[in-house]
Structure 1
Amino acid sequence: MSVKNVKISVVLPAKNEEGAIGETILRIKALEIIDQILVVNDGSEDQTRQIALNAGAEVIDHPYSKGNGAAIKTGARNACGDVIIFMDADGQHDPQDIPRLLVKINEGYDLVVGARQSGSQASVGRGIANKLYNNLATYMSEHHVEDLTSGFRAVRAENFREFIYLLPNGFSYPTTSTMAFFRAGYSVTYVPIHAAKRIGKSHIHPMKDSIRFFLIIFKIATLYSPLKMFLPFSVLLFLLATSWYGYTLYEFKRFTNMSALLYTGSIMIFLMGLISEQITALMYKEK
């Protein structure tokens, strides 16, 4: 599929983004290659909707805030383009990078992610967290992952819609969609970008972010290959059980309850991983 012969939609999830959304839309329109600019107004309480309309975008309203992921899903369902560009409406993402993402789509990739370079993270803590996400995703998928959580991405619409039912309503839709594309065998690549400082107040909260960190870690595993996550823990418990059994056999000439507990735990964790692996395979079964 050549990008030159298809329609291109840009989806902008927006909640209280009156400070940046107008300029963002005008800069996208200035590219003169976009067929549709679709703003999903996620229960904004400011002038986001009116500013977006005045700038020439289509607007779909959520009657109340459902979350960034929910806005993405609404945008994906209503976009008319064969290729969809997802980007933030807060001024972080540069519309001038859109043609660079589309070049990769034109080369045959199904998902192109704008990978934030050094200095683009909102904070040191989030930078460290994203580094851990990337390393874990690389281990799980056996593909080099440069930026798992970037919200600036270009996708083939028909492929993305296959995984809408998997996407959460919160902020971790990039993680979910990337791992789903890997699991389904679609082609994924990265284009280096620089993310600017957002305009307006961030919707991220440190406490919720910390909880989300652990949830994303487990989601990465369950979306790709749970056994890869469970197996190391199972092996570790098995080695501990064997070591303890060797010690008690040498010292006391007997098999202890602790050894039995560790061996049982090892087997249970392995079986949980095996069952989870089968469930994951069913999630991606072709309809």
Structure 2
Amino acid sequence: VYNEEESLPLLFDAIHQALASLSRSWEVVLVDDGSQDGSLGVLKTLAEKDPEHIRVVAFRRNFGQTAAIAAGIDYSKGEVIILLDADLQNDPADIPMMLEKMDEGYDVVSGWRVKRKDTFITRTLPSRMANGLISRITGVELHDYGCTLKAYRREVITGFHLYGEMHRFIPVFAHAVGAKIIEVPVRHHPRRFGQAKYGLERITKVLLDLFTVKFLLSYSAKPIYLFGGAGIGIITFSTFLLLFLFVRRIFFGISVFGSPIFQISAMFFILGFQSILMGLIAELQVRTYHESQQKPTYTVRKTINIFKNK
């Protein structure tokens, strides 16, 4: 929730309509991300009106959407967690359908705004380009990473921390631990109150976070593959330059040390060696991270006839 004073009462009614008829327990954790309007006051009123279901977490200042989502996950208790923006563009009426998909055995149900009601040039087009790039780099094919409306089993999203704009990559992290993912079309409505909080400036942040996610997924357990591979490649290039200088010296009598290529090759050789050393240092850090926290390098979906020693 960020400056959604007018939307909150309607959101409250829509959520109640969607969930009240379900034969399961539920709660709504509303995270106020440092709103500057009367949103917090409305949240207090809603919490007093329905103390059984409504929880409120109020930030001291605006920390951003990713931090708000992280807080919502931390303060929630349910086995299934559904994320939802407070701006009424996503429809809570889609929640029962998503829960049905969860009951079919999926770990992640991702919303897809097929008929998106946003400005095409500044929001829809950049989003489509970002979705294609993320899908290609991560290998997790989704049409709409930016749709907040997604359902998760708690067990697949609580083993990592969220920073920056990382909330859109939660399905990627879930996929990394073996989550079964499905994408379903959801309704999308034009914004009724206020204005959009994001624009084109978000693209740079998403791209930088994408580099981070790719590194964490592919090389966090074995960083030597990245640093060592880069080092070997740089040293190989340096070696070819030295061989070129050697051949030129033997057959054409051109001095090796008089050419700037020699300095370049020597510099590349040193850089390659340093990259390998960085990989070894990173390997030590990874081992310290896992062993100090007794953090396993695997995830288990379920066990049969297995009893842990006490």
Secondary structure at the aligned position of 1:286 is classed as coil
Q: CA deviation at 1:152?
A: 1.8
Q: What amino acid is the match of 1:136?
A: I
2:28 is aligned with 1:44 = no
Higher mean alpha-carbon deviation, 274-283 vs 59-68, is at 274-283
Q: CA deviation at 1:220?
A: 0.9
Q: What amino acid is the match of 1:18?
A: E
**1:186 alignment counterpart:** 179
2:252 is aligned with 1:257 = no
TM-score (norm: length of structure 1): 0.74
TM-score (norm: length of structure 2): 0.69
Picking from 154, 158, 166, the partner of 1:161 is 158
Picking from 17, 24, 30, the partner of 2:17 is 30
Retained in 1: the 8 A contact 2:131–2:143? no
Whole-angstrom CA distance in 2 between matches of 1:279 and 1:134: 29
Change (3 A) 1:238 1:174: same
Higher mean alpha-carbon deviation, 88-97 vs 236-245, is at 236-245
Secondary structure at the aligned position of 1:224 is classed as helix
Retained in 2: the 8 A contact 1:15–1:48? yes
Whole-angstrom CA distance in 2 between matches of 1:179 and 1:277: 23
**1:144 alignment counterpart:** 141
Change (3 A) 1:16 1:110: same
Retained in 2: the 8 A contact 1:85–1:155? yes
**1:173 alignment counterpart:** 167
Whole-angstrom CA distance in 2 between matches of 1:69 and 1:235: 37
Change (3 A) 1:145 1:120: same
Retained in 1: the 8 A contact 2:116–2:189? no
Q: What amino acid is the match of 2:64?
A: G
2:191 is aligned with 1:204 = no
Change (3 A) 1:188 1:264: farther
Whole-angstrom CA distance in 2 between matches of 1:274 and 1:104: 44
Q: CA deviation at 1:185?
A: 3.0
List per-residue Cα deviations over 1:69-91 (Å, max 9, x = no partner): 22223222222322111111112
**2:57 alignment counterpart:** 60
2:20 is aligned with 1:20 = no
Q: CA deviation at 1:280?
A: 5.8
List per-residue Cα deviations over 1:114-152 (Å, max 9, x = no partner): 2344756724234323322222111xxxx4344444322
Change (3 A) 1:265 1:188: farther
List per-residue Cα deviations over 1:137-169 (Å, max 9, x = no partner): 11xxxx434444432211123443333xx112x
Which segments of 5 or more consecutive residues in structure 1 lack a partner in the other structure? 1-13
Q: How does 1:106-121 map to 2 (within 5 A)?
A: 106-117=103-114, 119=116
2:75 is aligned with 1:78 = yes
What is the RMSD computed on CA atoms of the aligned residues? 3.5
Change (3 A) 1:238 1:115: farther
Whole-angstrom CA distance in 2 between matches of 1:182 and 1:278: 26
Secondary structure at the aligned position of 2:106 is classed as coil
Q: CA deviation at 1:229?
A: 6.2
Higher mean alpha-carbon deviation, 148-157 vs 35-44, is at 148-157
Change (3 A) 1:214 1:103: same
Give aligned pairs, total: 265
Q: What amino acid is the match of 1:125?
A: P
Q: What amino acid is the match of 1:22?
A: P
List per-residue Cα deviations over 1:158-208 (Å, max 9, x = no partner): 443333xx112x432232x3333233333333223354444422222544x
Between Structure 1 and Structure 2, whose CA radius of gyration is higher?
2
Retained in 2: the 8 A contact 1:115–1:193? yes
Retained in 2: the 8 A contact 1:83–1:156? yes
Which segments of 5 or more consecutive residues in structure 2 lack a partner in the other structure? 251-255, 298-310
